[in-house]
Structure 1
Amino acid sequence: MSERKPWLKHYPKEIPSVLTEEPRPVQQYLREVANEFPDKVAIHFLGKKVTYQELYEAALKLSRYLRELGINKGDRAAIMLPNTPQAVISYYGILMAGGVVVQTNPLYMEREIEYQMKDSGAKVIITLDVLFPRVMKVMPKTNLEHIIVTAIKDFLPFPKNIIYPFKQKKQFGLVVNVNHKGNHHLLTEILKKPVGEEPKIDFDFNEDLALLQYTGGTTGAPKGVMLTHKNLVSNASMCAAWMYKCKRGEEIVLGVLPFFHVYGMTAVMILAIMQGYKMILLPKFDAETTLKTIQKEKPTLFPGAPTIYIGLLNHPNLQKYNLSSIDSCISGSAPLPIEVQQRFEEITGGKLVEGYGLTESSPVTHANFLWERPSIKGSIGVPWPETDAAIVSLETGEHLPPGEIGEIAVKGPQVMKGYWNRPEETEEVLRDGWLFTGDLGYMDEDGYFYVVDRKKDMIIAGGFNIYPREIEEILYEHPDVQEVVVAGVPDPYRGETVKAYIVLKEKATVTEKALNEFARKHLAAYKVPRIYEFRNELPKTAVGKILRRALVDEERKRLDDEQSKQA
């Protein structure tokens, strides 16, 4: 086994290679922890505290209401919320009702919402009041039957709940009033109902879906990743096993990573509820707010993305804040620069290590050790418990020996069931139980894995997965654009940033500003290109395919030349 899985010999004795967690659905953990720690604070949100008993009862009320609205086992219900108590209540309420959660980014514009609702077939969506008009525009074009509305102020303490609507009007320029009637529902009214009993639903732990988490692919079309209760519970259990020094019911987790992203959902929300931790939720990342929150609330666990840690380290007032409560951080979503890791550890006195995963694996498959073993520079670490990994030849499909580069493939209980309604694309990436990640890498003699490149052209900017084809299709809709290719180019803060290379039609005069305004009407802000470059022609293959990689290489060479001159 040590020859086949050389990483196991490095496992500290506290980390099991096989998990012994008793199979039970995701939502059952909330009931259990509410029984164990009823009065313990589960959520701290901008001063508002919600206990585990209150959280469980709120989710239970919502689950019963969803059943009344016609949500039956297997029906999809969407959540379009930032990190708030309502997001957690909605997630567990949908699961208790037997539904399948569809996580939807609250930054999405109408076109993106419409596509996801149509593809998933969601019958209900839970969203914010300020997003209500956006959802209502697309609702007639989808299967949505009901919309449940909440507001940030609904879970703010006094006097913040009085002040916030005025700030909201200033920020968004509107105040939305929704009445609790017809197919419009207010979460505040739902939560006034009596608790009652939890719906009695039989769950197949191995097969029943808990989540449709949308991602993209090489074609750019977002795909619904089917994650079962087993997938999510297994990955959260692996995380708990990896972080073996953490004490049940005692840790405090900082929830900056959005729960509509699978990493935040698993490594913060599900893990915290599974272990009875306290979650400190922030609806969006702001460096100064995060620093103040760390100093005041003293979180011990801080899962994040490199851009979050970079943003804190580069804050001009960093030295004013005490971050010494932070003990453990696993970084995901993008490569973690070694200098960021070292500086963050120096300032906090805690541990920050790099991990690896993808939406299709719930998401984590690898990480460096937090304790006992040093992090390996440039490595994504070793496979987690019950997780197998291999480097596969692109030519022969055979498993390659240490040191040779091929495609990273993983196998384990956290690997998805497949893509929603896409059997052919499922077959492309799931073969004999192995998930082919599309990332190129190698394994060293000790079983540590390294990513060297992405087989796909996906851009990872600020921890968000961005798919060039989607942006290209929007820009192609502009009447002045003849050709366009979008690529990720190096960025010291975001890891990568989105750049669009444009060839205009003859006599076209569109400006960069006008193109940017056009893109912002159709794309979430983080997908909009930060850089535009107008060209007379684009590099192509003999058959006319635009060579995106050539442009990226050209950009990297230009940056290297600039750095050489500065040196």
Structure 2
Amino acid sequence: MFVEQEWILKRAALTPHHIALINLASEEQWTYQQLSEEIGKWSQFFERQQLKKGSRVAVFARNHIQLFAILFACGLRGLIYVPLNWRLSREELTQILEDATPSILLYEEESHCSLVVEKMFPLHLIKHEKATLPSRQDVDLNDPWLMIYTGGTTGRPKGVVLSFQSVNWNAINTIISWGLQEKDRTLNYMPMFHTGGLNALCIPLLMVGGTVIIGDKFEAEAALRATNQYQTTISLFVPTMYQAMIATEYFRENHFPSMNVFLSGGAPCPHPIYDVFHKKGLFFKEGYGLTEAGPNNFYIAREDAYAKKGAVGKSMQFNEAKIINQAGQSCAPREVGELLVRGKHMFRFYWNNKQETANILQDGWLKTGDLAMMDEDGDFYIVGRRKEMIISGGENVYPQEVEQCMLQHPDVQEVAVIGVADNYWGEIVTAFIVCCHQVATILDELNELCHQQLGCYKIPKQIIFLDQLPKTSVGKIDKKALHRLVDSTC
């Protein structure tokens, strides 16, 4: 009898000689048959360790194709895969381990991981063993498979528990809605401790029989060269990666004929990036997701994305989305409200945190905490985080609108807008800018640009120039760090 967690073995039986995974740094390649064998080795290892169903397997490692073998072996044995963000401090990692209470920690020998746990095993421990088919475990669709910890932007990190249903329906929905095929290839630099590095394209493409090329340390020109070398067809990068890529000579001189579409996610994408791709005749569009849902939730045709910059499109085939106001009623077109989503791809619960689970899951809908609006065609636009909305003089200011305006200046490379506490206004709109040239020469131009396009209450009252903006572990602009910077100078 076929069971839900065994689909990767079925895929290996269907297309055993197709290339499943490529490790970019070493150029090591695995066919689906080889992936199946590696999964078998890890499953045997877990069986020898006498790990019981529901035990947590923590993994501390940089991006590598071996992580997929561990991930799928956990699924076959009913174990919960817990990838750790290796960029966190020792204190932060200790908090996560104390919460997850893993039975085992797998780590790279090269990482010199100094965390103290009961058992530690290097990733290469069982490579020499002969592979056999793993023994079957009884697993329910709602049983946990992955536990991915959030970045802790609103406090302590939370363990987001994704069931087999969550992961598999995100993959199925993505394959059907986005039209993925086994001929598709993706280059993934998204960290594999993040839902984008696992669930955005990698697992869906492995389910459909495509090829996943795994990169680790992102370097803009190397990523573009790999795109051509491996003839990738669809890849996801965050906006800061795209900023670096379009600045290279290699990007300007090449046309990337194999690419069907470049995807942007993780944060709102600056509109000038759309223009650069459009001028080269390349398709470019944005997506939206979060660890608790998907992360894939919307689809927009690549041909429509440029005409609707910033739109993420309509909800995918097997999920729903709506926008509500503070009264809980559906918003009218162009009215900003909170985005809610629902579907079988949603997470099960927060580990050891029933209250937060109850706060975010209500009547079958997931309250994303993100602000959105829908146009007259039914296409969704993400406006920003509800908690990032600025209230200045009683007026609502959405940082993304101000950022997109200022990014139109040709000398502005990056912008981040936050609200800073003020005794008179409540909050003042404050912009942090990275620019190409002398700052004094563009202040008047920025002020004029903002007055042309923004209401007076939205125009930044304070502009701070930086050499670079702080980034999170997945390449997003770190607005918490900007708040700390302001606090430290007050």
Q: Is the 8 A contact 1:379 1:451 kept in 2?
A: yes
- Which TM-score applies when normalising by structure 2? 0.79
**TM-score (normalised: structure 1):** 0.68
Q: Is the 8 A contact 1:295 1:322 kept in 2?
A: no
**1:286-325 alignment, distance < 5 Å:** 286-325=219-258
1:434 is the counterpart of 2:365: yes
1:413-454: CA deviations, max 9, x gaps?
Answer: 111112111111111111001111111122222211122231
Change (3 A) 1:494 1:201: farther
1:496 CA displacement: 4.2
Looking at structure 1, the residues matched to 155 and 349 of structure 2 have their Cα atoms a distance apart, in angstroms, of: 17
Matching residue within 145, 157, 162 for 1:227: 162
Q: Aligned pair 1:202/2:133, yes or no?
A: no
How many Å apart are 1:550 and its aligned residue? 2.7
Change (3 A) 1:557 1:193: closer
Q: How far is the alpha carbon of 1:565 from its aligned partner?
A: 6.0
- Counterpart CA distance in 2 for 1:86 and 1:191 is 10
Q: Which digits, 9 at most, give the CA deviation of each residue in 1:513-541, with x for residues without a partner?
A: xxxxxxxxxxxxxxxxxxxxxxxxx8467
Amino acid at match of 1:194: K
Aligned residue runs from structure 1 range 420-431, under 5 A: 420-431=351-362
The equivalent of 2:192 in structure 1 is: 259
Distance in 2 (alpha carbons) for counterparts of 1:495 and 1:237? 36
**Alpha carbons of 1:563 and 1:86: their partners in 2 closer, same or farther (altered >3 Å)?**
farther
Kept in 1, the 8 Å contact 2:39–2:69? The answer is yes
Q: Secondary structure at the match of 2:148?
A: strand
Helix, strand or coil: the match of 1:222?
coil
In the other structure, the counterpart of 1:157 is none
Aligned twin of 2:121: 148
Instruction: Check if 1:376 corresponds to 2:311.
Output: no
- Partner amino acid, structure 2, of 1:51: T
CA apart distance, 1:562:
5.1
Deviations 1:81-117 (CA, angstroms, capped at 9, x unpaired): 2221122122112222221111212222211211111
Matches within 5 A, 1:498-537: none
Q: Which runs of 5+ in 2 are unaligned?
A: 390-405, 450-490
Contact 1:375 1:381 in 2 (8 A): no
Label 1:220 to 1:354 Cα distance change in 2 as closer, same or farther (>3 A): same
2:80 aligns to what? Answer: 100
1:386 matched to 2:318? The reply is yes
The answer for the alignment partner of 1:32 in structure 2 is 10
Higher relative CO (Cα under 8 Å, sequence separation at least 6) belongs to 1
Q: Which of 88, 91, 94 is equivalent to 1:111?
A: 91
State the secondary structure of the residue aligned to 1:359: coil
Judged with a 3 Å threshold, the aligned counterparts in structure 2 of structure 1 residues 264 and 493 are, in CA distance, closer, same or farther, namely farther
Deviation at 1:296, TM superposition (A): 1.6
- Cα distance in structure 2, aligned partners of 1:220 and 1:317: 41
CA distance in 1, matches of 2:245, 2:13: 37
How many positions carry a matched residue from both structures? Answer: 421
Match of 1:59 among 39, 58, 67: 39
- Cα-Cα RMSD: 2.9
Distance in 1 separating the partners of 2:193 and 2:13 = 27
State the partner residue of 2:446.
Answer: 564
Instruction: Go from structure 1 to structure 2 and tell me whether the alpha carbon gap of 1:30 and 1:425 turns closer, same or farther (over 3 Å shift).
Output: same
The answer to whether the 8 A contact 2:59-2:82 is kept is: yes
Q: Does 1:550 align with 2:446?
A: no
Question: Which residue identity does 2:122 align to in structure 1?
Answer: V
Match of 2:290 among 353, 358, 362: 358
Q: Which residue of 1 aligns with 2:181?
A: 247
The alpha-carbon distance between structure 1 residues 345 and 49, as it changes in their structure 2 partners (threshold 3 A), is: farther
Distance in 1 separating the partners of 2:355 and 2:275:
44
Matched, 1:400 2:324: no
The letter for the 1-side match of 2:139 is F
1:365 and 1:375, CA in 2 relative to 1: closer, same or farther beyond 3 A? Answer: farther
Amino acid at match of 2:308: I
- Which deviations, in whole Å up to 9, do the C-alpha atoms of 1:176-217 show, x marking residues without a partner? xxxxxxxxxxx2x31211212312111111x11111111145
Give yes or no for contact 1:259–1:269 (8 Å, CA) kept in 2: no
Q: Residues 324, 345 of structure 1: CA spacing in aligned structure 2 closer, same or farther, 3 A cutoff?
A: farther
State the 1:335 CA deviation. Answer: 0.9
Farther-moved stretch of structure 1 (352-361 vs 42-51) = 42-51
What is the letter of the counterpart of residue 147 of structure 1?
M
- Identity rate, percent: 27
The aligned residue for residue 206 of structure 2 is 273
- What amino acid maps onto 2:14 in structure 1? E
User: Which 5+ residue runs of structure 1 have no aligned equivalent?
Assistant: 1-21, 151-186, 459-489, 502-537
> For residues 107 and 378 of structure 2, what CA distance do their matches in structure 1 show?
44
How far apart are residue 242 of structure 1 and its match? 2.1
How much has 1:267 moved relative to structure 2? 2.2
Partner deviation per Cα, 1:220-277 (whole Å, 9 max, x = no partner): 2110111111111111111111222x432x2221122222210121123211210111
Is 1:380–1:449's contact at 8 Å kept on the other side of the alignment?
A: yes
8 Å contact kept, 1:83–1:283: yes
| Cα distance in 1 between the residues matched to 2:286 and 2:304 | 15
Q: 1:417 and 1:280 mapped to 2: Cα distance?
A: 29
Q: Is the Cα–Cα contact under 8 Å of residues 414 and 433 in structure 2 kept in the other structure?
A: no
Alignment of 1:68-147 (within 5 A): 68-132=48-112, 134=113, 136=114, 138-139=115-116, 144-147=117-120
DSSP 3-state at the match of 1:77: strand
User: Could you tell me whether the CA contact under 8 Å between 2:246 and 2:252 is conserved in 1?
Assistant: no
For the residues of structure 1 that align with 2:337 and 2:13, how far apart are their CA atoms? 48
**What's the offset of the Cα at 1:563?**
4.0
Measure, in 1, the Cα distance between the counterparts of 2:19 and 2:8.
Answer: 13
Q: Aligned pair in 2 of structure 1 residues 191, 436: CA closer, same or farther (>3 Å)? A: same
